């Protein structure tokens, strides 16, 4: 019962943190235009966060293995708070980049939270708890953009200050409400992180395969997002509010599926098999979406994809944790998040390249990434 209470405290922290992040995402471009930000430099600004996070997240995860989860989670959230304040007070595009890089450097909150869930879970309930954590992040990302748009009516800087306040609440909640799951000295033989770990982890039979599958499926999702944006505007001719509601509905389906993880794990004990079946359904839905031309057929494809894509992270994260050394939980979860960050960067870049051919080709490129991931899930199943 105590562990469940601690999980819900962590869920609360993750929700308010993701709300803060979601608030600023749709406002980066209109705010940055005041300082000369263009569509091209917006991509660089977004990538700067992901690249900084790629290098920093496993380091923070490794430090949480050695010094405890709470201090590293608190530092990460405080860094986010400061970065939002710097962003709000920016007077040049250079400061905007500095703020996003700072947020990326201290952006280990997801991997540290995942390590905390792993610390307090058993192999039987780990997927369920990862599903709850994932739904917490997803809920915040849905609420955040709408809240940011509302707050911007009082001034374009207001949402950034509000996001900073949200991050500060998360920091204080971590310090005063959250129980440490890895007290310093509890886990012995922690290893020092080196960047060679990015390669050595991929060589680990089960963990490396799971991380690579996660990278491919993340890249597929962020490729799809570019196709989603262009298809709804150029083909379906939807207005911004309708697109926002459509995308929110897509996100809600993923949250529903993450909360339904126990339903699947009780009936299919093999996490690799659940991942294999859900990936196959995502492949069919994504490939079919490339042939759609109307709202209903496109929405049906997105519904199927959104639902079964929601099983991705709970299955992958729990598989990694099940086969991982407790002394490396933070480090390996950090490396997993680093590869996800690169997938988030490469997906939109490659989507932009094939979009010149046709909008539909973006969905087929996403399908290709999912197909490769599906082939690797057979390998994961064989090693289970």
Please state the pTM of the whole predicted model.
Answer: 0.82
- Enter the tokens of residue 325: 């050394």
At 239, phi and psi to the nearest 5? Answer: -85, 165
Q: What is the pLDDT tens value at each position of the chain, 384 positions in all?
A: 455 677 888 888 888 878 877 787 767 777 888 888 776 677 678 778 888 888 888 888 888 888 889 999 999 999 999 999 999 998 888 999 999 999 888 876 788 888 888 888 888 888 889 888 888 888 877 888 778 878 888 888 898 899 999 999 999 999 998 888 887 655 555 556 666 777 888 888 899 999 999 999 999 998 998 888 788 878 888 876 677 678 778 888 888 899 899 999 999 889 999 999 999 999 999 999 999 999 999 999 999 999 999 999 999 999 998 888 777 888 888 888 889 888 988 888 888 888 888 889 999 999 999 999 999 999 999 887
Sequence-separated (6 or more) residues with CB below 8 Å from residue 28: 37, 42, 45, 46
How many alpha carbons fall within 13 Å on the CB side of residue 299? 12
Residue of 211, 197, 257, 7 lying closest to 114 (CA atoms): 7
Residue of 138, 139, 140, 162 lying closest to 150 (CA atoms): 162
On whether the CB atoms of residues 48 and 100 are closer than 8 A, the answer is: yes
Please give the domain boundaries of the chain with CATH numbers for all domains. 1-179 (1.20.1250.20), 198-384 (1.20.1250.20)
| Cα separation, 375 vs 119, whole angstroms | 30
DSSP class of 235: I
């Amino acid at each position: 019962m105590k562990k469940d209470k601690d999980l819900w405290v962590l869920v609360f922290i993750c929700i308010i943190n993701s709300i803060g992040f979601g608030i600023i995402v749709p406002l980066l471009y209109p705010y940055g235009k005041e300082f000369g930000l263009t569509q091209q430099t917006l991509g660089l600004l977004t990538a700067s966060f992901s690249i900084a996070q790629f290098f920093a997240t496993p380091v923070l995860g490794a430090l949480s293995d050695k010094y405890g989860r709470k201090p590293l989670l608190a530092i990460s959230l405080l860094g986010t708070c400061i970065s939002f304040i710097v962003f709000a007070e920016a007077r040049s595009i250079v400061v905007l980049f500095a703020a996003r890089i700072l947020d990326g450097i201290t952006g280990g909150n997801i991997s540290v939270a995942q390590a905390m869930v792993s610390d307090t879970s058993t192999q039987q309930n780990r997927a369920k708890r990862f599903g709850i954590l994932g739904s917490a992040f997803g809920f915040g990302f849905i609420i955040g953009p709408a809240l940011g748009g509302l707050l911007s009516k009082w001034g374009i800087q207001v949402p950034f200050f509000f996001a900073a306040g949200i991050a500060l609440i998360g920091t204080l909640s971590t310090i005063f409400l959250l129980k440490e799951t890895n007290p310093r000295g509890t886990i012995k033989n922690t290893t020092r992180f080196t960047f060679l770990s990015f390669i050595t982890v991929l060589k680990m039979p089960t963990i490396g395969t799971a991380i690579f599958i996660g990278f491919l499926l993340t890249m597929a999702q962020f490729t799809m997002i570019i196709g989603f944006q262009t298809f709804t505007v150029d083909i379906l001719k939807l207005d911004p509010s309708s697109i926002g509601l459509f995308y929110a509905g897509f996100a809600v389906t993923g949250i529903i599926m993450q909360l339904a993880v126990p339903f699947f794990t009780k009936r299919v004990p093999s996490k690799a098999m659940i991942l294999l079946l859900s990936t196959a359904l995502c492949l069919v839905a994504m490939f079919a979406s490339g042939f759609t031309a109307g709202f209903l057929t496109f929405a049906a494809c997105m519904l199927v994809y959104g639902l079964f894509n929601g099983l991705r992270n709970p299955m992958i994260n729990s598989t990694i944790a099940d086969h991982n050394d407790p002394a490396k939980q933070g480090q390996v979860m950090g490396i997993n998040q680093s590869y996800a960050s690169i997938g988030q960067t490469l997906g939109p870049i490659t989507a932009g390249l094939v979009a010149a051919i046709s909008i539909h080709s973006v969905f087929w490129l996403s399908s290709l990434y999912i197909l490769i991931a599906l082939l690797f899930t057979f390998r994961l199943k064989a090693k289970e």
